[in-house]
A and B are shown apart, each in its own frame.
Chain A
Amino acid sequence: GAGVSQTPSNKVTEKGKYVELRCDPISGHTALYWYRQSLGQGPEFLIYFQGTGAADDSGLPNDRFFAVRPEGSVSTLKIQRTERGDSAVYLCASSPSVGGGQETQYFGPGTRLLVL
């Protein structure tokens, strides 16, 4: 597709469950970012990949959160033992090459996660 896509668009789960959120970046973009956005707040940086490797994962809130990008394209954000405080919109963005925020980031529509 032409833009960044994310699936599912909405996810409702119960406290304690495991969830996976998927991001398909723009074809050819080597840098990929995950953010979390709560209502009325700006996106909060979680992790960024340069190719297959996590160049910076300092934004992941704790060890329940993990992300992979095994082939340097699609990425999956995994959340274990979900808590109600994990409820937010999870945004994915990609950029062409350099990464580190020096280039325009193209955002996907987000996955709205609700933990009951």
Chain B
Amino acid sequence: GQSLEQPSEVTAVEGAIVQINCTYQTSGFYGLSWYQQHDGGAPTFLSYNALDGLEETGRFSSFLSRSDSYGYLLLQELQMKDSASYFCVLNRDDKIIFGKGTRLHILP
């Protein structure tokens, strides 16, 4: 089968850097995506890694290592508006699998 594991909650301070890890088990996939979801809102796309390595998009970066079955989302210069849930997502040919999400709390 396939599964994704990510921490249920992470707390960080405004202006700091935070890393949200994701480990997975799957037999094959196209890539790993990250989505952000604010309370009561729809998921919005943040980043996608098809290849190993780091992808940078503004304050957000995402990393994938297929050999380690591991990825992470890095958020820099945290702002209060970054308080949300973050989902790692396996992109397979036959199914899209969301993790359970990591709730990010940001302290002023």
Contact = CB atoms under 8 A, between A and B. Distances in A.
Please indicate which of the listed interface residues A44, A56, A108 has the most CB atoms of chain B within 10 Å of its own CB.
Answer: A56
Size class of the contact patch on chain A: 20 to 34
A109 B97 contact: no
A41 B91 CA distance: 18
Contacts of A101: 30, 33, 89-93, 95-96
A-B interface, 3 closest residue pairs, ranked by CB to CB distance from nearest: A42-B98, A101-B91, A107-B42
Interface string B18-62: 000000000000110100000001111100101000000000000
Nearest to A35: B98
Contacts of B41: 109
B101 interface: yes
Given A43-B98, A45-B96, A110-B42, 4 more contacts: A42-B99, A101-B90, A101-B92, A109-B41
B87 interface: yes
